[in-house]
Amino acid sequence: MLSTVRNASRQLTKRIRPSGSSLRPYSSEASADYQFGPSFGLSEDQASFQELARNFTAEEIIPVAAEHDRTMAYPHAVIKKAHAAGLMNLHVPEAYGGPGLPVLSCALISEELAYGCTGIQTAMEANGLAQAPLILAGNEALKAKYLGRMTEEPLMCAYGVSEVGAGSDVAGLKTRATKEGDHYVLNGSKCWITNAGVADWYFVLAVTDPTAKSHKSMTGFIVDGKSAGITIDPKLINMGQRCSDTRLLNFDNVLIPEENVLGSPGDGFKIAMGAFDITRPLVAAGAVGLAQRALAEAAKYALDRTTFGKPIIKHQAVSFMLAEMAIGTESSRAMVWKSSWVKDSGKRNTYYASIAKALASHHAVSNANMAVQIHGGAGFNTEYPVEKLYRDAKIFELYEGTTQIQKMIIGGFIEKEFS
């Protein structure tokens, strides 16, 4: 699988290197004899993945991003091509047909895809979020059945935790799964579920023991998308990332085989939250991709636009905004890489993942705002891509844990560290 990805990368590199890629020379070649601590150099594999994703974005995502934003059509064709190129299901272990990439390699790919369109990148990345609990806690039979099929054809899956009354407050879940013989009966609804309308299967968190403490009352399940009793509401119309499929998901006496339980009954909360240690660095990487795109668009416009007899990049007010955008992008990327590296090193990265998510989300929103400001009135219409970036950015401060939740997590670690 890895050799296939490397070969595909070399072929794409021969065909196209996107204009402006020299604006993003943020990695250096890894040195084999470097022995002085952390390095920001990339391995040959990592550089291949990054180049593959960058070229795919230039060829397949950027040309269609505006149209998908206007029509809100799900990017089936792009996803099919991404699957063929080896850019889907990156977490899936090699034993089940996937590349089994470490988190840092996935982060490199997520940033490049998000540079083109975070709506398309979110649709693709949602597979990783749904798969993470299964990878962490599924038995071999479940992994073979549900992960294996994802690598064989371009199928989608979805992570079903949030509810109308339980977003940040997961303890407020109302969805119930009742044990009856050799199966569970699932009833309830999930809200704001990415890929809900196109998913082949779902990870669902439900209360199985209402008498237990909240963190032990829930169980995680894999629910087949073709199960009787599942109904899906119409697509929600979002402010940004409009081609992503976001819906309410309803369960009416849905039967789940007992073997579709992840881990043990009562482990669901721990499993669902553990998945975020893998996926939050990748959401943050997506935010970095948007921040980098905002910087690139603003810098190009500032070089071309002339006022008072000179390009506006020569005006200190504009130059300082661009500098702030660069500072935010670079510092966010560094935090994404650190949080990813900690996870790949086999250590708990929750603290760093929350910092990366909060920091990168903030700078995605801030950079998009400043990009519009630098464009002036032109930034307020669809002639330039920055108005889309502005709308797309806000969700990074909301999904996969709001910025406030990230700060609560970080604050908790600080309190424990200094007590």
Active site residues: 400
Instruction: Quote the tokens at residue 413.
Output: 């670690």
Helix (H) or strand (E) run with residue 55 in it: helix 44-56
Residue with tokens 């040959």: 44
Q: Where are the beta strands (DSSP E) in 134-273?
A: 156-160, 176-180, 183-194, 199-207, 218-224, 230-232, 246-257, 261-262
Asked whether 106 and 227 are in contact (CB, 8 A), the reply is: no
Whole-number Cα distances in Å, 354 to 270, 328, 329, 406, 413:
16, 16, 16, 5, 11
**Residues facing residue 249 across a β-bridge:** 190, 232
In 266-393, which residue ranges form alpha helices assigned H by DSSP? 268-304, 316-344, 350-375, 386-393
For the chain, first and last CA: distance in Å?
47
Q: Do residues 90 and 39 make contact, with C-beta atoms less than 8 angstroms apart?
A: no
